[in-house]
Amino acid sequence: MKKKNLSAKKKIPSFFSKKLEDPKIKGIYLNFKKKLPKNVSNNICVAVSGGVDSIALSFLAKSYSLEKKKKIYFFIVDHKIREKSTSEAKLVRSKLKSFGINCEILTLKKMKKLSNLQSYARDNRYSMIIKKSLPKKIDFILTAHHKDDLLENFFIRLLRGSGLKGLISFSKTKSKVKFDHQIYTLRPLIDVSKKDLTYISKNTFNFYVEDESNFDDKFLRVKIRKLISKLEDEGLTFNKFKLSLNSLSESNQAIDYYVLQNLKNNTSLIPFTKTTILKKEFFMQPDEIIFRSLSEVIQKTGKRQFYARGSKVKNLINYIKSDENFVKKTLSGCIIQKIENSVAISSENK
């Protein structure tokens, strides 16, 4: 092996260990490690955007891989939304490579202009990463979501009329990416501020890419960010927000308990036909319990990535409860039929 290569192998680990001597960076790193799976045999990948938060995450993840002598995959998704996206992706890959981090660029097809462009790009970004993750048997996708994102997502969902479950779902450190895959997203930085992540980026790799859309008022997230800034002037703090969020989470857990009881006591599965039978008592629960229970059955039976649209599920519940002659209905890959006092739900793709 050439002397130059040997020197580089020694230089990179020493760079990371030296940076971790900074008390602030070390504190965040120790908290980051606690959020990762205890079983280090799990394969992990990092979603890198090039922004200040994902660059900080890349530093922390590489530090972890060096400490544990574990390979971690790094993926950059070139979403093709902005003209500079391809050159930025290559720049981030080049910069990170100089620190011993090898990134693979995943390129999305150029998308048409959509009203929900950011949401569409996010879903496609995860699809690309999952496609690469499955052959590598990756169990966890690390994302750089931080506590500023947590605040923003809460208000975005509030404005869109999300229910209790939707409002608190982003606060979970771990969540499943797709219904039919055993791949989870991990948000190990969800309790860390963007200000602290900026500190890490500037004091380690000393570079990041600024997304111009972060300043474009046509995006709802930017408007929400400005609203939060005004609320902070009126006394809103993250700690106050977290107290309210924790209370909502506790309420959600109570509802989840009764949903599980409803599914356990008032449903039965016919194995050969893979049909789920909902007893009459299934629909004698409080409205929210019925709504969530039915949503769970439909998603599981239809094997869909997302739950059926809330308004459609509610319309279906009203129709089932009505005295009208019930005809066959379809929703999210499911066939719903009323049989005397029960309801049968089966997959359209048997």
Strand partners, 72: none
Give 284's contacts (C-beta < 8 A, 6+ positions apart).
none
Query: By CB neighbour count within 10 A (0-12 exposed, 13-18 middle, 19+ buried), where does 312 fall?
Result: middle
Question: Residue 190: how many CA atoms within 13 Å on its side-chain side?
Answer: 21
**b vs e for 101-120, b when ≥16 Cβ sit within 10 Å of the residue's Cβ?**
bebeebebeeeeeeeebeeb
Range in 191-195, 231-235, 322-326 the model is least confident about: 322-326
Residue with the bigger pLDDT between 154 and 41: it is 154
Model confidence at 111: pLDDT above 70:
no
Q: Would you call 185 helix, strand, or coil by DSSP?
A: strand
Query: What CA–CA distance (Å, rounded) separates 161 from 183?
Result: 28
- Residue 1 banded pLDDT, cuts 50, 70, 90: very low
For 263, other C-beta atoms within 10 Å of its C-beta total 19
**Stated length of the chain:** 350
Supply the pLDDT for residue 172: 81
Supply the pLDDT for residue 181: 62
160-183 mean pLDDT: 78
Supply φ then ψ for residue 343, to 5 degrees. -125, 130
| CATH class given for the domain over 3-236 | alpha beta
Supply the pLDDT for residue 252: 94
- Residue 296 banded pLDDT, cuts 50, 70, 90: very high
Supply the pLDDT for residue 210: 81
CA quadruple 48, 51, 53, 56: dihedral, nearest 10: 70
Supply the pLDDT for residue 277: 95
214-238 mean pLDDT: 83
For 175, other C-beta atoms within 10 Å of its C-beta total 12
Query: What CA–CA distance (Å, rounded) separates 281 from 145?
Result: 41
Model confidence at 143: pLDDT above 90:
yes
CA quadruple 269, 271, 272, 278: dihedral, nearest 10: 0
Q: What percent of the chain has pLDDT over 70?
A: 89
Angle CA(226)–CA(114)–CA(140) in degrees, nearest 5?
75
CA dist list (Å): 248 to 86, 152, 179, 256 = 41, 16, 24, 12
Question: Residue 136: how many CA atoms within 13 Å on its side-chain side?
Answer: 19
- Residue 331 banded pLDDT, cuts 50, 70, 90: very high
Supply the pLDDT for residue 174: 83
CATH 3.40.50.620 in the chain, residues? Answer: 3-236
272-299 mean pLDDT: 93
Supply φ then ψ for residue 103, to 5 degrees. -105, 145
pLDDT digits (tens, 9 = 90+) for 36-88: 988 767 899 999 989 999 999 999 999 999 999 999 999 998 887 777 888 99
Model confidence at 115: pLDDT above 60:
no
Supply the pLDDT for residue 6: 46
Q: What is the DSSP string of 44-106?
A: EEEEE-SSHHHHHHHHHHHHHHHHHT---EEEEEE--SSTTHHHHHHHHHHHHHTTT--EEEE
Range in 88-97, 112-121, 240-249 the model is least confident about: 112-121
